[in-house]
Amino acid sequence: MVNRKGLPVVSREDTWCDLAAAQALNLDELIVLGDEVVHFRRGVSTARLAAAVRRRKGGRGTLLMAEAFPQLRPRANSPMETRARLLFLRGGLPEPELNVVINDQDSGQWLSDSDFVWREQKVVAEFDGDHHRTDRQQWQNDVARCQNLQDDGWAFIQLTYADVMLHPRNQTTVRRLHRLLGLS
């Protein structure tokens, strides 16, 4: 229990464990929620979540927690970023860096904060929710960021909900990334 504005509430890490124990979520949903629980800016530390998991040892849901916990990433910024990352990994792609800064290789000038980065191959994938299309300023910033990356020699893939969640389109996404990463 933790205290929030004078009220006792269940902590984020214990809530995650409780949902696993209740089998209220499948593996992917538990990973999505777990990424939010351990988010590097607004979450709890992975050490704190690990301690909560250890306290549950032998109880209900411990196998699910044990499978989900190593797949959590504090730098995932949204549920769809987590789902995209899981798609990539299950599709045989190497794990990308998440939400990192990319600077121009010559000048060092900022180019982008990018969702998924395969630095060695100079490949970037960005998940864009619908607000990237409906917000004019966001859309203009996205176009400029893509152009800046491409001018610096980066391959850029823009991803939408359908590219991640809908079959067979999500398999096309995986094949495209395999090709860009030199894996096919």
Let me know if domain 79-180 sits in CATH 3.40.960.10.
Answer: yes
Q: What's the rounded Cα separation, in Å, for the pair 39 and 45?
A: 8
* Separation CA 184–CA 180 (nearest Å): 9
Distance between CA atoms of residues 153 and 171, nearest Å: 25
Report the pLDDT value the prediction gives residue 135, as an integer from 0 to 100: 79
CA trace torsion 20, 26, 29, 33 (10° rounding) = 0
pLDDT tens digits for range 164-174: 999 999 999 99
Tens digit of each residue's pLDDT (9 = 90 or more) over 34-83: 999 999 988 899 999 999 999 999 999 999 999 999 999 999 999 999 99
Who has greater pLDDT, 176 or 4? 176
pLDDT at 132: 64
Give percent of the chain with pLDDT exceeding 70.
99
Domain boundaries, the chain: 2-71, 79-180
DSSP codes of every residue in 76-102 = --SHHHHHHHHHHHHTTPPPPEEEEEE
Predicted pLDDT at 129:
79
